[in-house]
Copies of this chain bind each other. A is one copy, B any other.
Amino acid sequence: MKNKVFSAQEAVARVKDGDHIMVGGFLQGGTPDVTVRELIRQGKKNLTVTSNDTGREGCAVYDLVFAGHVDRVIADYIGLNPKTGQMMIENPDSVQLFPQGTLAEKIRAGGFGLGGILTPTGVGTIVEQGKEKITIDDKEYLLELALRADVAMIRAHIADEAGNLVIRGTARNFNVVMAFAADYVIAEVDEIVPIGELDPNHVTIPGTLIDAVVKGG
Contacts and interface: CB of A to CB of B under 8 A. Distances in A.
Interface of A: 105, 109, 112-120, 134, 136, 139, 141, 143, 145-146, 168-169, 201-202
Given A113-B120, A115-B139, A115-B141, 19 more contacts: A105-B112, A109-B117, A109-B118, A113-B119, A114-B117, A114-B118, A114-B141, A115-B134, A115-B136, A116-B117, A116-B118, A116-B141, A117-B117, A118-B143, A134-B143, A136-B145, A136-B146, A168-B201, A202-B202
The copy count of this chain in the complex is 2
Nearest to A167: B201
A113 B120 CA distance: 8
Nearest to A140: B115
Nearest to A139: B115
A163 to B, nearest CB: 19
Nearest to A199: B202
Given A168-B201, A201-B202, A136 B116 contact: yes
A117 B118 CA distance: 6
Nearest to A201: B168
Contacts of A117: 109, 114, 116-118
Contacts of A136: 115-116, 145-146
A137 to B, nearest CB: 9
Q: Which 5 A-B pairs have the closest CB atoms?
A: A115-B118, A115-B141, A116-B118, A115-B136, A117-B117
Contacts of A168: 201
